[in-house]
Amino acid sequence: MEIKLIKYWKVELFEEPKITASVINGILPIEERRPFLTGYSNTQFDLRKAVINGEEFITLCCDPGSLHTRSVRISRIHEFKCTPIYESDDTFQEAAKPLMKWLVENVHPHHQAIVTSSHAELLESQIVAKTDEFLKG
């Protein structure tokens, strides 16, 4: 099971559905399901808690990481949708690339390296480096 960190929440706010009927659509009504505002928040939005706490407005960022915000009166919100946006965890790949490059440039293609937080070993027993310098105490 992989644990993913939530970077921010994408919040879509919907008004009460407006039913439209026309000659082209026939007699069948069609609901419009587009959000009137899409914003971003660091915390998950909960409409029930906001109403219980007596809040009158919700404030959302216009873009992730932006300081520009928009506020909307809570009474205007009929429905909302919160979608988590996860952090991409490619730190391991970034850390491994220099070692992989060094292996390609300096050793036989079939050699392997084993690296732990306190030990690095180049298989075939050519070079062993051991240290406790980077262990958190």
Reported as a single tens digit per residue, the pLDDT across 78-88 is 888 999 998 87
Domains of the chain: total: 2
In this structure, are 82 and 96 located in the same domain?
A: no
Place of tokens 């070079």: 127
Give residue 81's domain range. 6-86
Is 46 within 8 Å of 74 (Cβ atoms)?
no
In this structure, are 107 and 55 located in the same domain?
A: no
* pTM exceeds 0.75 for this model: no
Give residues with Cβ within 8 angstroms of 96, minimum separation 6. none
More confident residue, 27 or 132: 132
Strand partners, 130: 119
The predicted pLDDT at position 52 comes to 81
The predicted pLDDT at position 51 comes to 79
The predicted pLDDT at position 45 comes to 81
118 belongs to a structural domain: yes
CA dihedral 81, 74, 41, 84 (to 10 degrees): -10
In this structure, are 50 and 109 located in the same domain?
A: no
137 belongs to a structural domain: no
In this structure, are 79 and 103 located in the same domain?
A: no
**How do strand 113-115 and strand 119-122 relate by DSSP bridges?**
antiparallel
